[in-house]
């Protein structure tokens, strides 16, 4: 079997096109574009690239750009003050605090400074609680993007056995909740899981989000399964994921490539969340 490749670049481009139209309609109706505020602290080169990509995509979709770049020696109070200022600004629909923060600054408290209504990254305690309870709220971007990818390939989630490898607050834990809300039977594997292959081998949907290159090999995969690779690793041979792509694609039914799979969905979902936040606040106003 050769797996069907799920083209995240194409799915993300479709989402962004649709979104640009929806943003234009929203802006015409309300007289004000949705606004995305990005906060970058320090000079981490990877973060600079990520933030620049997010801003460029937002602007291309018709979303107003509010960017704050703070020096690396900023204190938690400095960052909190900027979040508060953006939280009070009615032109800002969503606030994104780019992680990681410089060493010594605790991110969890600062993330919780973002009001849930503007939490377009879906990472505050409030957003996590709403997700856990299955209530409406903004969902974390990478996990939401994965659900969109599965739907785009018409992969049945309801009733499927989904194994999520990884339990981070950014990816694994919220994805498990989203799959559960879609009526999958969900197993979460992690660094202390005994005999990983015996568990992943049962999965109809297998998501690799452990952050370990080539962790998932053909022997971890049930023939015909949908394999979603979240990992991103820079190697001399270029970007690779957590899945050993060549051998797994000979066994799986569907597979996402790295690059060009999950990655592009993260930004597309961020823009989607920004429009949702703007819509919710325009209804509340
Ligand atoms: P993390 O380090 O916070 O979490 C990794 C998780 O994997 C942990 O829960 C850990 O228990 C589990 N794990 C570690 N070793 C394991 C093993 N041997 N077997 C099973 N589980 C194991 O990482 P994260 O932030 O969740 O990111 C995971 C990967 O996804 C990274 O490569 C990251 O770069 C990538 N990522 C990609 C995107 C994207 O947009 N494509 C977004 C976020 C993260």
Task: Please name the residue that has the structure tokens 């992690």.
Answer: 190
Q: In testing the pocket of ligand 1, which one of 230, 235, 243, 269 has its CB within 8 Å of the most ligand atoms? A: 230
Catalytic-residue membership of 121: yes
CA distance 205 to 224: 9
Helix (H) or strand (E) run with residue 10 in it = helix 8-30
Any atom of ligand 1 within 6 Å of the Cβ of 196: yes
Catalytic-residue membership of 10: no
Any atom of ligand 1 within 6 Å of the Cβ of 211: yes
| Angle between helices 141-152 and 263-284 in degrees, nearest 10 | 110
CA of 212 to the centre of ligand 1 (A): 7
CA of 258 to the centre of ligand 1 (A): 14
Any atom of ligand 1 within 6 Å of the Cβ of 170: yes
Any atom of ligand 1 within 6 Å of the Cβ of 4: no
Q: What is the pTM of this model?
A: 0.97
Tell me if 118 sits within 8 A of 92, measured CB to CB: yes
The active-site residue out of 121, 204, 229, 242 is: 121
Per-residue pLDDT tens, the chain, 285 aa: give them.
799 999 999 999 999 999 999 999 999 999 999 999 999 999 999 999 999 999 999 999 999 999 999 999 999 999 999 999 999 999 999 999 999 999 999 999 999 999 999 999 999 999 999 999 999 999 999 999 999 999 999 999 999 999 999 999 999 999 999 999 999 999 999 999 999 999 999 999 999 999 999 999 999 999 999 999 999 999 998 999 999 999 999 999 999 999 999 999 999 999 999 999 999 999 877
CA of 192 to the centre of ligand 1 (A): 14
User: What token pair was written down for 30?
Assistant: 């309300």
Any atom of ligand 1 within 6 Å of the Cβ of 209: yes
Answer left, alpha or beta for residue 17, where phi above 0 means left and psi between -120 and 50 means alpha.
Answer: alpha
Nearest to 228 by CA among 168, 132, 153, 178: 153
pLDDT at 76: 97
CA distance 226 to 249: 10
CA distance 208 to 175: 11
Tell me 156's DSSP state: -
Tell me if 78 sits within 8 A of 70, measured CB to CB: yes
Beta bridge partners of 59: none
pLDDT at 209: 98
């Amino acid at each position: 079997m050769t797996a069907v490749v799920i083209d995240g670049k194409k799915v993300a481009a479709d989402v962004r096109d649709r979104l640009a139209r929806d943003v234009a309609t929203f802006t015409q109706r309300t007289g004000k574009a949705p606004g995305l505020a990005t906060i970058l602290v320090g000079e981490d080169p990877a973060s600079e690239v990520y933030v620049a990509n997010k801003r460029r995509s937002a602007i291309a979709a018709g979303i107003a750009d509010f960017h704050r770049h703070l020096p690396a020696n900023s204190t938690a109070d400095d960052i909190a003050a900027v979040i508060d200022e953006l939280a009070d600004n009615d032109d800002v629909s969503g606030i994104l605090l780019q992680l990681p923060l410089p060493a010594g600054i605790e991110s969890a408290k600062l993330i919780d400074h973002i009001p849930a209504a503007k939490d377009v990254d879906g990472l505050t305690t409030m957003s996590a609680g709403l997700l856990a309870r299955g209530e409406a709220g903004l969902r974390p971007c990478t996990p939401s993007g994965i659900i969109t990818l599965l739907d785009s390939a018409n992969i049945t989630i309801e009733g499927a056995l989904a194994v999520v490898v990884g339990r981070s607050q950014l990816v694994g834990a919220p994805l498990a909740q989203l799959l559960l809300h879609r009526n999958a039977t969900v197993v979460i594997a992690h660094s202390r899981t005994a005999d990983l292959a015996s568990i992943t081998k049962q999965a109809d949907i297998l998501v690799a989000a452990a952050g370990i290159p080539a962790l998932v090999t053909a022997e971890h995969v049930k023939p015909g399964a949908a394999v979603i690779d979240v990992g991103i690793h820079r190697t001399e041979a270029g970007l690779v994921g957590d899945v050993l792509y060549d051998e797994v694609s000979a066994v799986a039914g569907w597979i996402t490539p790295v690059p060009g799979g999950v990655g592009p969905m993260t930004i597309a979902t961020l823009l989607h969340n920004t429009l949702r936040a703007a819509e919710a606040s325009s209804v509340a106003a």
